[in-house]
Amino acid sequence: MIADRMRSTVLFGAAVAVGLAVVAIFVAVAGVLVGATTGADPADAFRPAPIVPADIDEYVLWLDERDELLRPVEPLTRDAVASAWVRADAAARYALEYRDTRPLQTWFTEGALERAEALLSEPTADTGWSWSGHELRAVFYSVDGRIMGVEAISTGWIHTDGAVLPVREARRAVLVLTDGNWRIQRDEVIETAVGNSTVS
């Protein structure tokens, strides 16, 4: 009698365990199905990415370095900084056009990031410019190879009041190497010339 009762108890416990296992499997499968059939918002999934020129090496011209540099800039570092410069420009144009700051965080940091994000809050922020080339000169390069100061001359075109005018901008910037990316940390516009007008 006791043996029968123990056998019944064991069988009941086993049945409960099997039932719980089946329920757990069902819940797991349901979770996978729900996750697989729930996608991202198409507006986000198909939003255009920043357009970056394929010929970055032809888009950026490096001028002779300053004689007082602590160390020469390696060719691979030049390529990486040039790529970061052009990609930062593409991210800024994208942010202005789509009012989306996410790409800025990849190529800007600290003060330069704050400045770039602040431009988006200006209702008159100009999106009609496009650069056709950049001249960069390294004016500082840290011994550890993680900080670079550059002077830049960017030339291109701006669409304003139905006209297309040449634009030339002189800038000073500091880039830092973080997480494998060169990012613009500080960025200062020294002079902008549009057509025959110059603004310092």
Give the CATH number, domain containing residue 63: 3.10.450.50
Tell me: do 22 and 78 sit in the same domain. Answer: no
Print the domain residue range for 15: 1-38
Tell me: do 120 and 61 sit in the same domain. Answer: yes
184 vs 15 pLDDT, higher one: 184
Tell me: do 27 and 55 sit in the same domain. Answer: no
Tell me: do 32 and 51 sit in the same domain. Answer: no
Tell me: do 34 and 125 sit in the same domain. Answer: no
Instruction: Judge whether residue 133 has pLDDT over 60.
Output: yes
Tell me: do 33 and 72 sit in the same domain. Answer: no
Predicted pLDDT of residue 58 = 75
50 vs 161 pLDDT, higher one: 161
Taking the C-alpha atoms of residue 115 and residue 170, their distance in angstroms, rounded to an integer, is: 17
Tell me: do 29 and 106 sit in the same domain. Answer: no
Tell me: do 5 and 52 sit in the same domain. Answer: no
Tell me: do 107 and 16 sit in the same domain. Answer: no
Radius of gyration of the chain (CA): 29
Tell me: do 140 and 81 sit in the same domain. Answer: yes
* Tokens standing for residue 26: 């069902």
Q: Are 85 and 136 in contact (CB under 8 A)?
A: yes
Domain count for the chain, please give it. 2
